[in-house]
């Protein structure tokens, strides 16, 4: 099976579902998708399996492939995040991610200052200084690469495996903000220094200082991004009955 055809089918259907072009309840037939996408039945089948794993569709015998409502999607999956960031729901997605990161990253920084192995302590300091240099130079691709690495080290350095599994979500957030022109070419010197402060507090084993500096980063992030979601309604997922 061609990986590119498989990827194209997933991207085509997933992005249209998330954008609302294929609304909840819409029924698709595998044979129609074969013609629409110019792919084989096996490619359609594998693409649908991926979309099922994301909670975007379900298959029903003698009915077809049904698009599921937002409440069934997996909001933590990086692909879903990327598709939402590319559409009209970008503001709401950015708000949800910023609030999630605000709840998690300061705690992760605090834990990393207590638990991180020496290799992570050294690397996060090196990365924070390289970030500062790239930010001052306006090297956007290099800064993005380092920014993702910094936050990945912070989350994994916490020693909490659930925090560590947020790396993909944070990477998609930072990538999406950059790709959609929502990151400055030259980040503020204050924000750059706060990243250094977090790293050096982690390296020095200072939990309170690491948490405080991380909280400052997230407060600044929310302040800068708030215009993007100011008029976006919040999304309330119904509580399922068991």
CATH number reported for the structural domain that contains residue 23 in this entry:
1.10.10.10
Residue located via tokens 């590119």: 4
Q: Would you say residue 238 lies in a domain?
A: no
Q: What is the pLDDT of residues 86-143, one digit of tens each?
A: 998 899 999 999 999 999 999 999 999 999 999 999 999 999 999 999 999 999 999 9
pLDDT of residue 97: 96
- Once rounded to an integer, what is the mean pLDDT over residues 175-179? 95
Q: Which tens digits make up the pLDDT trace of 3-60?
A: 788 999 999 999 999 999 999 999 999 999 999 999 999 999 999 999 999 999 999 9
Same domain, 58 and 83: no
Number of continuous H segments (helices) and E segments (strands) in the chain: 11, 3
Q: Which of 72, 97, 129 is the C-terminal boundary of a domain?
A: 72
Per-residue pLDDT, 1: 45
Give the per-residue pLDDT at 2: 56
Same domain, 58 and 90: no
The region of weakest confidence among 87-91, 152-156, 159-163 is 87-91
Same structural domain for residues 92 and 44?
no
Residue with the two structure tokens 């022109």: 181
Indicate whether 99 and 216 sit together in one domain: yes
Establish if 65 belongs to a structural domain: yes
Report the C-alpha gap between 91 and 100 in whole angstroms: 14
pLDDT digits over 223-233, tens only? 999 999 999 99
Which of 72, 91, 124 is where one domain is finished? 72
The enclosing domain of 208 has a CATH number of: 1.20.120.530
Residue 51 lies in a domain: yes
Q: Is residue 27 part of a domain?
A: yes
> Taking Cα atoms as reference points, which of 97, 105, 98 lies closest to residue 80?
97
Structure tokens at 225: 């991004």
* Structural domain containing residue 90: 78-229
pLDDT of amino acid 205: 98
Are the beta carbons of 118 and 126 closer than 8 angstroms?
no
92 touches 229 (CB < 8 A): yes
Q: Which tens digits make up the pLDDT trace of 188-212?
A: 999 999 999 999 999 999 999 999 9
Nearest-angstrom CA–CA distance, 27 and 41: 17
Query: Quick one: CA dihedral 35, 39, 42, 45, positive or negative?
Result: negative
Within this chain, do residues 185 and 93 fall inside the same structural domain, yes or no? yes
93 and 53 in one domain?
Answer: no
The Cα-based distances of 5 to 22, 47, 77, 168, 190 in angstroms read 20, 9, 21, 23, 45
Residue 169 has pLDDT above 80, yes or no: yes
**In the listed set 72, 100, 126, which residue is the last one of a domain according to the structure?**
72
Count up the domains in the chain and report the number.
2
Task: Tell me how crowded residue 190 is: count the other CB atoms within 10 A of its CB.
Answer: 10
């Amino acid at each position: 099976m061609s990986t590119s055809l498989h990827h194209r089918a997933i991207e085509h259907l997933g992005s249209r579902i998330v954008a609302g072009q294929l609304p909840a309840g819409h029924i698709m037939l595998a044979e129609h998708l074969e013609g629409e996408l110019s792919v084989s039945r096996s490619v359609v089948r594998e693409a649908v399996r991926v979309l099922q794993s994301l909670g975007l569709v379900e298959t029903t015998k003698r009915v077809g492939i049904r698009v599921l409502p937002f409440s069934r999607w997996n909001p933590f999956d990086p692909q879903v995040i990327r598709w939402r960031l590319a559409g009209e729901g970008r503001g709401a997605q950015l708000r949800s991610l910023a609030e999630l990161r605000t709840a998690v990253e300061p705690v992760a920084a605090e834990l990393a200052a207590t638990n991180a192995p020496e290799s992570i302590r050294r690397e996060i300091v090196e990365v924070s200084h390289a970030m500062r240099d790239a930010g001052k130079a306006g090297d956007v691709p290099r800064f993005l690469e380092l920014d993702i690495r910094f936050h990945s080290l912070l989350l994994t350095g916490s020693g909490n495996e659930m925090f560590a599994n947020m790396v993909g979500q944070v990477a998609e957030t930072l990538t999406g903000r950059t790709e959609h022109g929502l990151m400055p070419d030259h980040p503020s010197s204050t924000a750059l220094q706060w990243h250094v402060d977090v790293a050096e507090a982690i390296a020095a084993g200072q939990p309170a200082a690491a948490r405080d500096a991380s909280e400052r980063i997230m407060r600044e992030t929310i302040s800068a991004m708030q215009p993007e979601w100011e008029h976006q309604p919040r999304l309330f997922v119904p509580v399922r009955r068991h």
